[in-house]
Amino acid sequence: MSGVTSETRLAALAAAATGLQRTASAAAALEVVARAAGADAAVVWPGSAGTVDAVSWEGAAPERPAARVPFGEVEDWSDADGRRWRVAGLPGGGALALAGGPDEPELLTALAALLEPALAVASASALVQRALLPEALPRLPSIELAAHYAAGSAGGGGDWYDAFELPDGRLGLAVGDTMGRGVGAAARMGQVRAALRAYALEGHPPAEVLRLLDAFVRTFDEAAFTTCAYVRYDPESRRLSAATAGHVPPLVLEADGTGAYLDLDPGVPLGAGTMRQGFSVDHVSGLAVDATVVLLTDGVLGAGVDDGLARVRAAAAGAAGGGAEAVATAVAAVAAPGAADDVALVAMRARSQSPTSEDGTRSLDVELPPSVHAARVARARVLAALADWGHGGSDDAGGPGAFEAVDAVVLLTDELVTNAVLHAQSALRLQLQGRRDVLRVSVTDESPRLPAPRHQEPMAEGGRGLRLVELLASRWGVDPLPLGKRIWFEVDLAAG
């Protein structure tokens, strides 16, 4: 397009303006401009357009010209290979370079002016998308988490993931794909993710969460079909419940890499079909120690779904021994480089509840909030840890005495945590240590007030905590601390 007529110029600008209205990424916007200009290759270096990095089309990757080209000016430039480029300044200080394109400065300047707003929109979309994803993953003593998100080359869409601790100590995991691209899709995605978390925090099981979420999606002014998978994991029982709405089922891997996708009916997308169609019923299964669960969006799979599912399973199996982060990295790598669709995934590894020291002592250390749910969370953590240590029932190696000791430990832990929440009203620290013949529990709070057992009236509702400790514990005590106190007790496993 070296010689440009007025008709050719208008046609190129019209093609660029029309095409840019449908783009949602910097790469797509650059391709529209390059094709409208008839260029062989193109590169853009954004200036004030923001966070979008240098983008190339048709594999072009020359170094940026050293001299800044002002907007309204066009300069010739040759790269290291001697290829000739025409470089036009962008309004915000960046530059657009075209190889094999038009020589006319007016057309290049007009194309640069059209391109920069599209780059700004792409940058805003990416910023909104990332801002609406979780800032951090929850940290739980028996759970290892990792996540990955990458926007597709067609622009940030509505793919998302979430991970959050529920008030009762369970963990919620979700991934989804909301229809559309750009800022609008990112905003709808944020609404859907926030609504799912709100329904989950109310305590609903996965299938009910999706039913409520479907009703919410139907309130949108425009169609926002969303596929979604939501799972809830209970570290106390190691039970996983899951449901999907038109989405890829979760993948469950054993520690040795063997595993499969959960066998459940995928259901229909949120906002599609009729309210009576519903979604998959809750699928409940147990997880072994060091098992890994992976939730992902279909951007990982590529065009061939069955082949993509097989490649994801193989990649995850090969990394299963490395933990959640290794699995997430391996699964993310299955997606083709430069794929058009977004990629979102979250991986969870159900670890052993507690480490073992060199002398054989096993320990659990948990921070608890001063809330009504603290005692329930404490019971869950203690029961799961003791089950890991082989103290789960009267048929264990410890015999009936060990089983009764476990009951005492759980009951007394509940009492001490409840008392701390009621009276200390501060953050709590629960520690459990287990040796071959004794279990030790301590609860630390920030209140300097030292407790003392008192006579218990038959109909009194409170005051029984330390009386129970006196009756059931083998030993107990209170340690004053510079910032609070620590109440502890020990139960001998042979004391049955």
pLDDT at position 490 is 94
In the chain, the largest separation of any two C-alpha atoms, in whole Å, equals: 102
pLDDT at position 132 is 62
Tens digits of per-residue pLDDT, 128-139?
Answer: 556 667 778 988
132-350 has which fold?
Phosphatase 2c; domain 1 (3.60.40)
pLDDT at position 327 is 92
Per-residue tokens: 140:
């739980």
pLDDT at position 39 is 82
Closest CA to 261 of 244, 273, 236: 244
Non-local (6+) Cβ contacts of 178 within 8 A are 157, 158, 159, 160, 185, 188, 189, 192, 224, 225, 226
Position 491 confidence tier, pLDDT thresholds 50, 70, 90:
very high
Rg of the chain, C-alpha, whole Å = 30
Would you say residue 460 has pLDDT above 50?
no
Q: Taking residues 131-149, what's their average pLDDT? A: 82
Please give the residue that has the higher pLDDT: either 82 or 412.
Answer: 412
What is the rounded CA–CA span in Å between residue 133 and residue 136? 9
What is the rounded CA–CA span in Å between residue 486 and residue 447? 10
What is the rounded CA–CA span in Å between residue 175 and residue 189? 11
pLDDT at position 432 is 92
Torsion-angle region of 266 (φ positive above 0: left; ψ -120 to 50: alpha; else: beta):
alpha
Domain spans of the chain? 6-121, 132-350, 362-492
Select the highest-mean-pLDDT range: 69-73, 165-169, 347-351.
347-351
Position 142 confidence tier, pLDDT thresholds 50, 70, 90:
confident
Per-residue tokens: 12:
């190129």
Would you say residue 425 has pLDDT above 60?
yes
Least confident of 78-92, 164-178, 255-269: 78-92
Choose the CATH number for 6-121 among 1.10.3470, 3.30.450, 3.30.160, 3.30.70.
Answer: 3.30.450
pLDDT at position 315 is 92
DSSP output for 234-293: ETTTTEEEEEEESSPPPEEE-TTS-EEE--------BTSS-TTT--PPPEEEE--TTEEE
Beta sheet of 226-234, edge-to-edge order = 157-165, 171-181, 226-234, 239-245, 283-286
Would you say residue 52 has pLDDT above 50?
no
Tens digits of per-residue pLDDT, 372-412?
Answer: 888 888 888 888 888 878 776 444 444 445 558 889 999 99
Q: What mean pLDDT value characterizes the chain? A: 79
Tens digits of per-residue pLDDT, 233-255?
Answer: 988 778 899 999 999 999 999 98
Choose the CATH number for 362-492 among 3.90.1200.10, 3.40.50.280, 3.30.565.10, 3.40.50.300.
Answer: 3.30.565.10
pLDDT at position 65 is 60
CA distances (Å), origin 373, targets 134, 169, 194, 316, 370: 23, 8, 22, 35, 8
What is the rounded CA–CA span in Å between residue 255 and residue 482? 43
pLDDT at position 212 is 93
pLDDT at position 135 is 75
Would you say residue 467 has pLDDT above 80?
yes
* 8 A C-beta contact, residue 35 and residue 55: no
Please give the residue that has the higher pLDDT: either 366 or 400.
Answer: 366
Select the highest-mean-pLDDT range: 52-56, 240-244, 270-274, 424-428.
240-244
* 8 A C-beta contact, residue 425 and residue 431: no
